[in-house]
Amino acid sequence: MSTQNLSGKVALIQGGSRGIGAAIVKRLAAEGATVAFTYVSSTAKAEALQNSITGNGGKALAIKADSADAEAIRNAVTTTVEAFGRLDILVNNAGVLAIAPLEDFKLEDFDQTLAINVRSVFIATQAAAKHMTEGGRVINIGSTNADRMPFGGGGPYAMSKAALVGLTKGLSRDLGPRGITINNVQPGPVDTDMNPASGDFADSLIPLMAVGRYGTADEIASFVAYLAGPEAGYITGASLTIDGGFGA
């Protein structure tokens, strides 16, 4: 049962049309927030998500924006504020995962990993902070791979998620005096279309989990909703792991 903790708040989720992002959009809307979210290519999924929220009496806006494009990110922030009059919560969920042996890893994939997984977080936070007031929330979606990468080929991805740890700590010093918190959520393996809970890859990861299963997108979304809410005002600069014991 929804507590409506976020009633009157406006949230922007960067990368919100599917998987963990879509679960976050739905959860924040259920908590009473007005939600805007960006997407790149999943137009049908984005429109369906928007319509599912507005059809239930909520307010939602899907915004097409490539998180590798700095101007598109800034425009998404501006569009949100123009549509809803304010911005209280930013969730930086956009991300890419490129895996390849060291000798085969393409430099363009390395650059894209940094652009979307790290650079877009800084750009969106910089733009959103201009509109936030006391009680504002920034929540980055990192990965437990910042602390543990148990297979080859994922070095650049692990690096990008480790970079969020430092970025979150540093930005907490900029935002804290203004009453705005920023935190980094680090999921472990989560059942999404990008990383399904069945198949050879999952079979190699599940034995590493203390709870013996993948997480669900809804479990991550519930954690994000808590950090976005009024009870989390004393948590900032933190990297908080929700990984079923993957890193234990």
pLDDT at 72: 98
Is 234 one of the annotated active-site residues of the chain?
no
What are the C-alpha distances in Å from 158 to residues 96, 167, 171? Answer: 11, 14, 20
Residue 10 contacts residue 22 (beta carbons within 8 Å): no
* Three-state secondary structure of the chain: CCCCCCCCCEEEEECCCCHHHHHHHHHHHHCCCEEEEEECCCHHHHHHHHHHHHCCCCCEEEEECCCCCHHHHHHHHHHHHHHHCCCCEEEECCCCCCCCCHHHCCHHHHHHHHHHHHHHHHHHHHHHHCCCCCCCEEEEECCHHHCCCCCCCCHHHHHHHHHHHHHHHHHHHHHHHHCCEEEEEEECCECCCCCCCCCHHHHHHHHHCCCCCCECHHHHHHHHHHHHCHHHCCCCCCEEEECCCCCC
> What pTM was estimated for this model as a whole?
0.96
Any idea where the domains of the chain sit in the sequence? 10-242
The whole-angstrom separation of Cα 37 and Cα 84 is 13
Residue 201 contacts residue 221 (beta carbons within 8 Å): no
Catalytic residue among 157, 214, 226, 234: 157
Report which residue type is found at 226: Y
The whole-angstrom separation of Cα 11 and Cα 93 is 13
CA angle in degrees (0–180, nearest 5) for 202-105-197: 10
Residue 213 contacts residue 207 (beta carbons within 8 Å): no
pLDDT at 186: 98
pLDDT at 1: 46
Please list the pLDDT of the chain residue by residue as tens digits (248 residues). Answer: 457 899 999 999 999 999 999 999 999 999 999 999 999 998 999 999 999 999 999 999 999 999 999 999 999 999 999 999 999 999 999 999 999 999 999 999 999 999 999 999 999 999 999 999 999 999 999 999 999 999 999 999 999 999 999 999 999 999 999 999 999 999 999 999 888 998 888 999 999 999 999 999 999 999 999 999 999 999 999 999 999 999 99
CATH superfamily of 10-242: NAD(P)-binding Rossmann-like Domain (3.40.50.720)
The whole-angstrom separation of Cα 19 and Cα 161 is 18
Residue 98 contacts residue 113 (beta carbons within 8 Å): yes
Burial 77-91 (b: 16+ CB within 10 A, else e): bebbbeebeebbbbb
Of 58, 11, 9, 62, give the one whose Cα is nearest residue 30: 58
pLDDT at 2: 52
